[in-house]
Structure 1
Amino acid sequence: MTLRADAILFDKDGTLFDFRATWDVWAGGVLERLAKGDAERLEWLTAAIGYDPVIGGFLPESPVIAGTNRQVAALMLPGLDGWSLRGLERFLSEAAETAPLVETVPLSPLLARLRQAGLSLGVMTNDSQRTAHAHLVAANIGDAFDFVAGADSGFGAKPSPDPLLSFAYAVEKAPERVVMVGDSAHDLMAGRAAGMQTVAVLTGPATRAELSPLADVVLPNVGALPDWLGLAHANAS
């Protein structure tokens, strides 16, 4: 049986790694470091990026969820003294490398199964490329991907389709035979604009109702991909 696709491009945060388990606690610590004990400054910073210190997590409408490090740094910069935009962006990128990664499902066996089926795999994140590589290596899945790009890789950032099309070009697959898998509207908008198949997963802050209009299918997590792709039927034939 023919599979639905020849390649899969994954978002990182909220797709491969659980967004709230990975980033909510980490962000609280980073905000406290930047505030340096100043309660008023901490309150300003949390409001600027849509972080609720009471629940210890990002609000659903937070621009951080799908934003780039530069966009986040630009939001925080007016509330900080002695920082440049570039310096704050670098700080956020380096600090993100130490985030406590929580996989949405056991990734190594899943990715191995997809590769064994002949699928090309990639990651496109609005995080930095350096942080993306660091996270994939830390999770022992760095070798599973043919393509890894961040918002600073030179291909652009989601929701632009350009980085997605760069993946299709790199692995020599037609866009319509590529699946974009993500947990945010930005991921799916980029996939649609690139002419790719779009799969939403519910391991990020966005809801099914928010993602359904932009997705060909909504899955609970990336672990459901093999069945949706038709791998079980292909193995049986």
Structure 2
Amino acid sequence: MDPIAQTALAAPAGSFSLLSLFWEAHIVVKIVMLGLIGASIWCWAIIVDKTLLYNRMKRQLDRFEETFWSGASLENLYTQVSAREAHGMAALFIAAMKEWKRTYEGGAKSLAGLGQRIDRVMDVTLAREVDRLERRLLVLATVGSSAPFIGLFGTVWGIMNSFQAIAASKNTNLAVVAPGIAEALLATAFGLLAAIPAVMFYNKFASQVSRLSTRMEGFSDEFAAILSRQIDERRSA
């Protein structure tokens, strides 16, 4: 009997455990399934990391907003938050205060352009923070869109080999055909297993990044307005 037929018919009727289906599958189908399993593990690692990151960022924004709007001195707040690694609103605040202090401590005779420079450094810092939040989300999007097709490729390959085995054995009994078809369809199942969580969490995380970005952008505008008023007061003094 042809070797392909022997492989396809090796599994006894009714032997449909996932492990047995994997081991009896063609080598190409095995590679596809292993790749999809690896992609799924990678996605879940990203999902856990991003869940922790976004929860931590939300708590940091809440704490900073509470402290900032409590009426504390900007100098004292700057001293407090600049002593440690800062992200989110704290990073925007530090960037703006550094530019503010650089102008005054440098003995600048004119305040012209200070407001624009503050806006620019906060925009750059905001872009950097959003990029940090979005990092590796593209992996989820890529896996979510491509995994079903990769799994389908494995299925098509497996079914082609099953049909070759059927032709070689000249036996179309369901007990003979079913194991080979099941092995092939397992690749599609792994593709969906990788894609569904990736798509769901990508959409969830994209929404969270949008909300966090909007909060930081709102703070940036408010703080820029506060500093702009102080600049105008010092100009008129």
TM-score > 0.5 by shorter chain: no
Give the structure with the higher percent helix. 2
Q: Which has the higher contact order (CA 8 A, sep 6+)?
A: 2
TM-score bracket, shorter-length normalisation? under 0.3
- So what's the TM-score if we normalise by structure 2? 0.22
Flag the structure with larger Rg: 2
- So what's the TM-score if we normalise by structure 1? 0.22
